Structure 1
Amino acid sequence: MGQKLMGPTLPAEAASGDAVADMGQDESVLILIKHCRDMKQQESCLRLVTLLLLLSCTTLFVFIISADLRQRGDSGSSGQRSAAEQHPAYSKQKQLCPADHPQNTSHRPHIHLRSVDAENRSNAQYIKWNVEFGERYDEERRAIVIPKTGVYFIYVTVTLTCQEEDPAADFNRFYVELRSWNKGYDMPRLLTKAWNGITCINSEGPRSVFVGQLFDLLAGDHVSVWIGAGYNLIMKSSFGAYLA
């Protein structure tokens, strides 16, 4: 009669309980892992939002600082311009630059004259003129009258040529002076002078002589052109003045 070996056995209820316990533990682990993932996502979103807010605040701060500095710079420049405009040197420079204010050009004195053929073409006399445009010409003194005190550019252009009655010579001398007269000193005053000439024996052709310079003149000054030598060489000439 055979014998059966019998080992220890677990009840069915115990085996089923362990399986349920294992399934419960796995589900808890999955829930915990999912919760950790959700927390990490929320943390990443918070970091991103914080970074964006920080960048926005930094940009706003930089913009405010830049606007303030620009406003201060504009205020400083305006103050410097106002101070410069009040300076006498700026006012003088403004007056001496007519190109910046073309609307004021028409009020600046300017006169231009053309010479008149003289019957007496001897030396040591003043040239007589016809007015091309402008005002304040004293026909008696053959002079331009300066209307107001200031710096004027005075110019004279003379064209020299050999006349038929000129004697044959190696060189015919020409001498011109710019002179000024005023009631205050009642004596002609030399402003500037020029020497030149022309050779007639070889018929070299006409020659131009130009004299131009800035002069500080007073109101009432009479500026005229005096010929000391070579009056008979003058073919034509012009004379003018304008406020610089």
Structure 2
Amino acid sequence: MIDMGPDKSVLILLKHCKEMKQQEMHLRLITLLLLLGCSTLFIFTICADLRQREDSASSEQRSPDYSKQDRVCPTDTQTNSKRLRIDLRSESANNKTDPQYLRWNVVFGEKYNKERRAIVIPENGFYFVYVRTALNCHGADRASNFEKFSFALHKWNEGYNMNVTLMDAWDGITCSPDGSKSAFVGQLFELLKGDHVSVWIKQGYKLITNSAFGAYLV
């Protein structure tokens, strides 16, 4: 038996408690590291499995037939070739009486029906259609006269077989030795495949010196 004083016993007990707390902290730290490692491994396994499934699904979708379809899809050039781009210039005519449809010569583009004197719409969509007209009224003996000019934009489709007015325009010019002016109209229209768009001169055909008429898909 060893006789210890009360102070020494307390010091030994405190030292023992301190060592126990250090061991407990070490155990907690080791446990936390193990949990973090297991969680990381679990997440990595799930991500790898999802990536493998996505790769498998992508491989199944891009079968030889699918790849063949990709190769035969229209190119940008082929798509653009279907987009309407046309510009016309008025054709001189001996008969300049009102009213009548303007005749045109093609500057560029292919969708022009000479018989109906109309632009033919190749597919459904929104089209910007424009008409520019140069007017001239000369003669000093008519200096006080004012000549009216008006036209309409018509569309026709064999589906309903009737002319429909898309737009009306009015203008005029005062006759003088050098009297001339230019009129321009343009508007966006929703048109259907097979629509025939033409320019109908109501009044003032004799005032026209030249005209431009065109449309393009937007």
Scaled to the shorter chain, the TM-score interval is: 0.5 to 0.7
Whether contact under 8 Å (1:180, 1:223) holds in the other structure is yes
Q: Equivalent residue of 1:198, what SS?
A: strand
Which among 146, 160, 163 is matched to residue 171 of structure 1?
146
> Quick one: which amino acid aligns to residue 211 of structure 2?
S
Question: Which residue pairs with 1:44 in the alignment?
Answer: 22
Distance 1:58 1:207 in 2: 81
Provide the secondary structure at the position in 2 that maps to 1:206: strand
- Separation in 2, partners of 1:109, 1:121: 30
Give yes or no for the alignment of 1:237 onto 2:211.
yes
Aligned 8 A contact 1:158 1:234 in 2: no
Residue pair 1:113, 1:239 contacting (<8 A) in 2 also: yes
Q: Which amino acid aligns with 1:131?
A: V
Cα distance change of structure 1 residues 52 and 110 upon mapping to structure 2, 3 Å threshold: farther
Counterpart Cα distance in 1 of 2:133 and 2:174: 14
Q: Residue 160 and residue 199 in structure 1: after superposition, are their counterparts in 2 closer, same or farther (change >3 A)?
A: farther
Is the CA contact 1:160–1:198 (under 8 Å) kept in the aligned structure 2? no
Query: What does residue 130 of structure 2 align with?
Result: 156
* Counterpart-to-counterpart distance in 1, 2:128 and 2:155: 11
Alpha-carbon separation, structure 2, partners of 1:200 and 1:215: 38
User: Structure 2: which amino acid aligns with 1:213?
Assistant: L
Q: Which runs of 5+ in 1 are unaligned?
A: 1-20, 72-100
Deviations 1:125-179 (A, max 9, x none): 211212122212122221112334x234251322334332583245332111112
Q: Secondary structure at the match of 2:136?
A: coil
Amino acid at match of 2:198: S
Q: TM-score, normalised by structure 2?
A: 0.62
- Deviation digits for residues 49-70 of structure 1 (CA, Å, limit 9, x no counterpart): 5267459858959x96xx99xx
Match of 2:91 among 84, 93, 116: 116
Q: TM-score, normalised by structure 1?
A: 0.56
The 1:31–1:202 alpha-carbon spacing in structure 2 relative to 1, beyond 3 Å, is farther
> Aligned in 2, Cα 1:31/1:174: closer, same or farther, shift over 3 Å?
same
Q: In structure 2, what is the Cα distance between the partners aligned to 1:49 and 1:203? A: 106
**In the comparison of the two structures, how many residue pairs are matched?**
186
Measure, in 2, the Cα distance between the counterparts of 1:156 and 1:223: 11
| Residues 180 and 222, structure 1, Cα contact 8 Å, conserved in 2 | yes
**1:228 counterpart (197, 202, 210):** 202
SS at 1:50's partner residue?
helix
Pairing partner for 2:113 from 117, 132, 138: 138
Runs (4+) of structure 1 exceeding 6 A deviation are none
Ranges in structure 2 where 5+ consecutive residues have no aligned partner: 51-74
Q: Say which structure is richer in strand.
A: 2
Go from structure 1 to structure 2 and tell me whether the alpha carbon gap of 1:177 and 1:37 turns closer, same or farther (over 3 Å shift). Answer: same
Query: What RMSD, in angstroms, separates the aligned Cα atoms of the two structures?
Result: 4.2
Larger radius of gyration: 1
Shift, 1:48, TM fit = 5.8
CA distance in 2, matches of 1:119, 1:56: 99
